Amino acid sequence: MEVSPLRPRPWTEAPEARPGDDPQQLWLVLERLQDPRNLGAVLRSAHFLGVDQVITSRRNRHGHSCPLTPVVSKASAGAMEVMDIFFTDDLDGFLQAKARQGWLVAGTVGCPGPEIPGSSEIPITSCLEFLWDQPTLLVLGNEGSGLSPEVQASCQLLLTILPGRQLPPGLESLNVSVAAGILLHSICSQRKGFPEDGKRGQHLRDPQEPSAMAEGPRLPQHPGLSSGSERERQDGG
């Protein structure tokens, strides 16, 4: 089957969304993602978690973004085929225009430190402490260099993912698609209607309820492993 290639549309064609309509709107903005597998994985997470729109920077003085290719589509598990993806050639101007409309522009950085330019001027907060109470643009940067200085300067807030241990130099950041999933989940889980802890269990099988797996044939056990009851029999218990 031959099909025409998918291309992002200008962001001006995106459905108009006013901050007063819904305070919990989330647009994902991607600056110069270059690896098609990363882009596909990010789109898959964005679609799964309920991002409203995706905006890419097609090109700027720092380089080009990955186009929408079959590799991206495959990595996205088909999400690219059903999402509306838009582009801008003036990412700084786009972010500033949305900020004037009342949107929060939240950039992303690795672990806070002196290597982050302008970090003393823009507040940095953990994604787990971020309160989503207004329409937000979440901006992810390039795999290697992160956000460009111009784009970071347009951000009102920088979100970061805090590590669980002391990290040696060179391991202070995550793959962009992994970071996107963590950041998006930390934000989207605040959305009204997102399954809460009390309701989440309704989507899972009751542990006491017999399952087809329990009634089905048992899988052969590895000869080097034994269950607790078998150990008891072996020990004379």
The pLDDT of residue 61: 58
User: Could you give all domains of the chain from N- to C-terminal order, each with its CATH number?
Assistant: 9-13+22-161+171-189 (3.40.1280.10)
For the record, the structure tokens of 210 come out as 């017999």
The Cα 106–Cα 121 span in angstroms is 14
pLDDT at 25 over 80: yes
DSSP states of 163-193 as a string?
Answer: -SS---TT-SS--HHHHHHHHHHHHHTTSTT
Rounded mean pLDDT of the chain?
80
More confident residue, 27 or 196: 27
pTM (two decimals): 0.76
pLDDT at 226 over 50: no
| Interval 115-163: pLDDT, tens | 555 445 899 999 999 999 999 999 999 988 899 999 999 999 999 999 9
The continuous run of DSSP H or E covering 42 comes out as: helix 36-49
The pLDDT of residue 94: 94
Mean pLDDT of all residues in 163-172? 84
- Where do we find the tokens 């300067």? 153
DSSP states of 81-123 as a string?
Answer: HHS-EEEES-HHHHHHHHHHTT-EEEEE-SS-STTSTTTTTS-
The pLDDT of residue 71: 94
The pLDDT of residue 220: 44
The pLDDT of residue 6: 72
The pLDDT of residue 45: 97
The pLDDT of residue 233: 45
Contact between 7 and 118 under an 8 Å Cβ cutoff? The reply is no
pLDDT at 56 over 90: yes
For the record, the structure tokens of 89 come out as 């050639």
Radius of gyration of the chain (CA): 22
Q: How distant, in Å, are the alpha carbons of 59, 235, 236 from that of 231?
A: 64, 6, 8
